[in-house]
Copies of this chain bind each other. A is one copy, B any other.
Amino acid sequence: MDVHEAIRTRRSIRTYLDRPVSRDHLLQLIEAACWAPSASNLQTWRFVILTRPDKLRALRVLAPGFIGRAPSAIVICQDAKEIARRAGQAAVDFCANMDSACAAQNIMLEAHALGLGTCAVGSFEADALRELLDLPTHVLPMLLVAVGYPRSRPEPPQRHIEGSYYFEGYHE
């Protein structure tokens, strides 16, 4: 699928077929994520892939936005100790956020080209998620991405392009 088309036809998918995603496809999404840029090329992302029904059930409880019974999820985490060691403590928040989101966008576009649907979810009970994933304290869960075959593809919400940009300086 053309990148131009992929960017414009990707949708956040909120209902999924009861059909598993293959391990090969999941690993292809991880590979796409790893090709995202990262601050100072740190590559401090860590991905936890969930496919077990009991784990996904627990995820639905602690992340109310994780809906539609996706058969798999990728939890994008960041190794805060590694960021701090290589870029300084002050860089942790910025790098963890920005690098996770760039990786997520690659996952979502690659998935779309594979016929998969995704939905990024940023709201969750962090402590419960840490426990579910056995995360050590220095590995921060940043973003969940639901992954599965779409049951339906919603129409695109309207995009507000006019009025979102300015040349040479901001003016209202």
Contact = CB atoms under 8 A, between A and B. Distances in A.
Interface of A is mostly: mixed
Given A1-B3, A10-B35, A46 B164 contact: yes
Given A3-B6, A47-B164, A105 B135 contact: no
A124 B151 CA distance: 44
A159 interface: yes
Nearest to A103: B105
A157 B47 CA distance: 20
Interface residues of A, number: 67
A97 B105 contact: no
Nearest to A6: B3
Interface string A47-69: 11111100100000000000000
Contacts of A106: 7, 105
Contacts of A94: 97, 122
A34 interface: yes
A48 B3 contact: no
A6, A47, A136, A165: residue with the most chain B Cβ atoms closer than 10 Å: A165
A101 B97 contact: yes
A1 B98 CA distance: 25
